[in-house]
Amino acid sequence: MLESGSNTLTIVVVGASGDLARRKIFPALFALYCQGLLPVELTIMGFARSAMTDESFRESITEHLTCRYTPEERSCAEKMDAFLACCHYVSGQYGSTDAFLDLFMRMQEHEPHSRTNRLFYLAIPPSVFMDVARALGDAGFVYCDDSSPWSRVVVEKPFGHDRSSSDQLVEELSHVFAERQIFRIDHYLGKEVIQNLMVLRFANRIFEPLWSREHIQSVQISWAEPIGIEGRGGYFDQYGIVRDVMQNHLLQMVSLVAMEPPASTSSAAIRQEKVRLLETVAAVGIEDLVLGQYTAAPAGAPPAPGYTEDESVPDDSLASTYAAVLLHINNPRWEGVPFLLRAGKGLDRKSTEIRILFRETEANVFSGVSGHAEPNELIIRVQPNEAIMFRITSKVPGLEMDLETRDLDLEYKTAFSELIPDAYEDLILDVIQGERSLFISSGELAAAWDVFTPVLDTVDSNHIRPLPYPFGSTGPSAAMDLAIRADTVWR
């Protein structure tokens, strides 16, 4: 066997038979493979409880692999065969050191070097998370280092369900992996438009001077999914929408919109500014939170069961599938500017958008001119149809002087010919390259939980019932009151 080589990599996907692995992780690995971005000497080990042979495992992951980067049929088929040949499977119980020793033996049969870089991807439910981390440590898989060769671990949310359980996970995981070896994924940070937020703010001169309470009236972040829980209640019902997407995906967007400019683009500088910002976000008060739970679709609409009618959800569940929150940021830049967040499943659309609403234009020479001019607005559409739009007042062409509001429109599909990578492609490549800026530090995690833990405790201990809203609607109307209180309107 050869000695260690920097161009060798073993990826161990724990939870390899699950949805996340099949739909996201393996397709992302294949996309990187097609682009020549994975080391030549590559071993991929899948590990899960289901009994499968290498062959049936390969079949199960093939379904979601796509030829986006190698559209010619022949070269795609060749790449796929070569990629699948690197993939092997071992089944076993998650907490069993013996099962992981077995995995270790199989892995060594395929690794060309005695000391190969190792990436562990934990795509597993939170209930078995620590058992697996311990078993990996006990089986001797993990190098205690992040240099050469390195061991790194990727962990998926949820990272706990409140501040103290999150602290406990951080502490327990630190017995197996050092903080610099841990990559906590929030896949929204890998999305193309979200990665563009810092560029938009700090590489364009026009925004920074306007980016404060003086010029901005409100910031709104909306996240909507048109689908319901569809049998995935096992996980969701214990967490609810605030823990599922708000404490992480939406709060990450808040950090990137509101943080101060970092000293550099280093991961340490960026993460430091995000933590600083999160520490200035006031803990959400119960008066600033509206919770909802979808009911069956109304008569006449395409049929859809209500949340509690789903067979994976208890009939008396109090889990929220919708939340609207009014956040307050206590720092000189944002004092008094409402940050309105809403997120919901079973809504009328699929959409993730950030809207920066500027204050009304002061009286100017056009104040008396006919036409309706709305305040400027910067709209950052994360998905679908990625775009950045700036709403301006414009003269309507013609002989009269009429004004109208129109969008300067940067729609990615027409503006860029490049393919937009899936978030997981970017994130996995960053793990391999040891680049941390798109991952959540333990400090960020703690600060993010501090924003929501007190209100979640109040909701849970008082068994607060979420407001019903019909599937396919815009959510409970009470959410409107938050905007009225904040003296703005939902956009």
Active-site residues, by number, are: 249
User: By C-beta, is 245 or 259 nearer to ligand BG6?
Assistant: 245
Of positions 131, 162, 225, 411, contacts ligand BG6 by CB under 6 A: 225
Q: Does position 167 bind ligand BG6 by CB under 6 A?
A: no
Question: Closest distance between ligand BG6 and the C-beta of residue 156, in Å?
Answer: 8
> Are the CB atoms for 9 and 115 separated by under 8 Å?
no
Query: What is the DSSP pairing of strand 8-14 with strand 41-48?
Result: parallel
- Burial string for 395-417 (b: 16+ CB within 10 Å, else e) reads eeeeeeeeeeeeeeebebeeeee
d(C-alpha 304, C-alpha 166), whole Å: 35
Phi, psi of 368 (to 5 degrees): -90, 0
Comparing every residue's Cβ against ligand BG6, the nearest one is 244
Query: Which residues partner with 356 through β-bridges?
Result: 219, 378
> Are the CB atoms for 192 and 386 separated by under 8 Å?
yes
Of positions 244, 273, 353, 430, contacts ligand BG6 by CB under 6 A: 244
d(C-alpha 20, C-alpha 25), whole Å: 7
> Which tokens sit at 412?
């990615």
Other beta carbons less than 10 A from residue 125's beta carbon? 14
Question: Closest distance between ligand BG6 and the C-beta of residue 187, in Å?
Answer: 6
Question: Closest distance between ligand BG6 and the C-beta of residue 221, in Å?
Answer: 13
d(C-alpha 220, C-alpha 351), whole Å: 13
* Cβ partners under 8 Å of residue 5, min gap 6: 41, 113, 116
User: By C-beta, is 162 or 225 nearer to ligand BG6?
Assistant: 225
Rounded to 10 degrees, the C-alpha dihedral 333/270/340/328 comes to -50
Which element (helix H / strand E) includes 84? helix 73-85
* Cβ partners under 8 Å of residue 121, min gap 6: 11, 12, 13, 14, 21, 25, 153, 154, 428
Question: Closest distance between ligand BG6 and the C-beta of residue 24, in Å?
Answer: 9
- Letters for 328-367 (x = contact with ligand BG6 by CB under 6 A, - = none) are ----------------------------------------
d(C-alpha 359, C-alpha 376), whole Å: 7
User: By C-beta, is 65 or 245 nearer to ligand BG6?
Assistant: 245
Question: Closest distance between ligand BG6 and the C-beta of residue 2, in Å?
Answer: 40
Binding residues for ligand BG6, total number by CB under 6 A: 3
Question: Closest distance between ligand BG6 and the C-beta of residue 230, in Å?
Answer: 10
d(C-alpha 195, C-alpha 185), whole Å: 14
User: By C-beta, is 41 or 244 nearer to ligand BG6?
Assistant: 244
Residue with tokens 């709209």: 379
Question: Closest distance between ligand BG6 and the C-beta of residue 294, in Å?
Answer: 14
Q: What are the E-state strand segments in 198-350?
A: 216-224, 289-295, 322-327, 339-344
Of positions 245, 289, 297, 447, contacts ligand BG6 by CB under 6 A: 245
User: By C-beta, is 118 or 184 nearer to ligand BG6?
Assistant: 184
Question: Closest distance between ligand BG6 and the C-beta of residue 240, in Å?
Answer: 10
Sign of the torsion formed by the C-alpha atoms of 465, 467, 471 and 476: negative
User: By C-beta, is 39 or 233 nearer to ligand BG6?
Assistant: 233
What angle, 0 to 180 degrees and rounded to 10, lies between the N-to-C axes of helices 97-110 and 126-138?
60
- Amino acid occupying residue 268: A
User: By C-beta, is 262 or 305 nearer to ligand BG6?
Assistant: 305
User: By C-beta, is 245 or 297 nearer to ligand BG6?
Assistant: 245
Question: Closest distance between ligand BG6 and the C-beta of residue 381, in Å?
Answer: 13
- Letters for 184-223 (x = contact with ligand BG6 by CB under 6 A, - = none) are ----------------------------------------
- The one-character DSSP state at 180 is G
User: By C-beta, is 179 or 230 nearer to ligand BG6?
Assistant: 230
Give, as ranges, the residues between 129 and 158 that touch ligand BG6 (CB under 6 A).
none
> Are the CB atoms for 344 and 241 separated by under 8 Å?
yes
User: By C-beta, is 248 or 453 nearer to ligand BG6?
Assistant: 248
- The one-character DSSP state at 463 is T
Question: Closest distance between ligand BG6 and the C-beta of residue 383, in Å?
Answer: 6
User: Which three-class secondary structure state does DSSP give residue 318?
Assistant: coil
d(C-alpha 200, C-alpha 217), whole Å: 19
Going by C-alpha positions, the residue among 157, 148, 208 that lies closest to residue 184 is 157
Positions in the binding site for ligand BG6 (CB under 6 A):
225, 244-245
